[in-house]
Amino acid sequence: MSLPSELRSKAFLTGKITGAESVSMPHEDMTRLELRIRRAVLRRLLRGQPVDLDSLSTSTRLSPEEVAPVLSKLSDLGALHAMDGVIIAAYPLSAVPTRHRIRRDGTIIYANCALDALAVPFMVEEIVSIESDCTHCGQATTVEMSGDRILAAHPRSLVVFHVARDSCEAGPAVLTRCPHINFFCGTDHAGRWLAENPGRSGDVLALPQAVAQACERFASTISLVRGEEGQR
């Protein structure tokens, strides 16, 4: 099913979902070179390719000496997270295995959290399958999507818990918030998990609502990856 127009509107999202700040940096805050290298990182991760300095140098036709300081700046901006010079995440994608696996075009790639995973289908042309598990009971969960269309979900009652920023520790989102933004079999299991974790607050989102949130949150990133008109 395609998303209803009301789920796409920012007013609806702002009114219904709290704590929904974006880690998808506005492009006006980035230089052409920063956008060029960020796009290369994201496209390589989408193909399941390494994002080390030499690989990015080859992709961008820039020297490692030119790429390295830009990666550091992108990390400072919050567009990606690196440790000891190694890229760990470039939102919404993860450079290391996580519980949120995405199968596309015969390749398995990874997202940082459930919401991030739901942004990936907007970035590619083909049907993708998102595989994860219920954080409460461990049951396997799957979502099959094509662009903004949800083709199938198992279980059909699937929901996403979106943790509030103020109930998490300070620090990079990939380390502090993403571990708590997950799929659940349904509202009952999400409620049980919340009862067992009283320190966490947030919103339980129906799947179409979570997809709309992902699209809104990563709109500029989706356009950047797809190379759509208007991108610098």
| CA dist., res. 171 & res. 173, Å (int) | 6
Q: Which CATH number fits domain 27-90: 1.10.10.10, 3.30.450.370, 3.40.640.10, 3.30.950.10?
A: 1.10.10.10
- What local confidence, expressed as pLDDT, does residue 10 receive? 34
Residue 85 has a pLDDT of 82
Q: Which DSSP state fits 168?
A: S
Model pLDDT, residue 26: 53
Residues ≥6 apart with Cβ < 8 Å to 147: 121, 122
Q: Where in the chain is the domain with CATH 3.30.450.410?
A: 5-21+98-217
Residue 157 tokens read as 């009652």
Question: Encoding tokens for residue 224?
Answer: 């950047």
Report pTM.
Answer: 0.86
> Tokens 């398995």, residue?
108
Burial 77-113 (b: 16+ CB within 10 A, else e): eebbbbeeeebbbbbbbbbeebbbbbebeeeebbbbb
d(CA 74, CA 127): 30
Is residue 150 within 8 Å of 117, Cβ to Cβ? no
Q: What is the pLDDT of residue 5?
A: 39
Per-residue pLDDT tens, the chain, 232 aa: give them. Answer: 444 433 333 322 322 323 333 455 456 679 999 999 999 999 999 999 999 999 999 999 999 999 999 999 999 999 999 988 899 999 999 999 999 999 998 899 999 999 999 999 999 999 999 999 999 999 999 999 999 999 999 999 999 999 999 999 999 999 999 999 999 999 999 999 999 999 999 999 999 999 999 999 999 999 999 986 444 4
Spell out the alpha helix ranges (H) of the chain: 5-8, 10-16, 32-46, 53-60, 64-77, 114-119, 173-176, 187-196, 207-217, 219-226
From-to residues of CATH 1.10.10.10 in the chain: 27-90
Name the CATH code of domain 5-21+98-217 (choices 3.30.365.10, 3.30.450.410, 3.40.50.720, 3.40.30.10). 3.30.450.410
DSSP per residue over 67-90, as a string? HHHHHHHHHHHTSEEEETTEEEEE
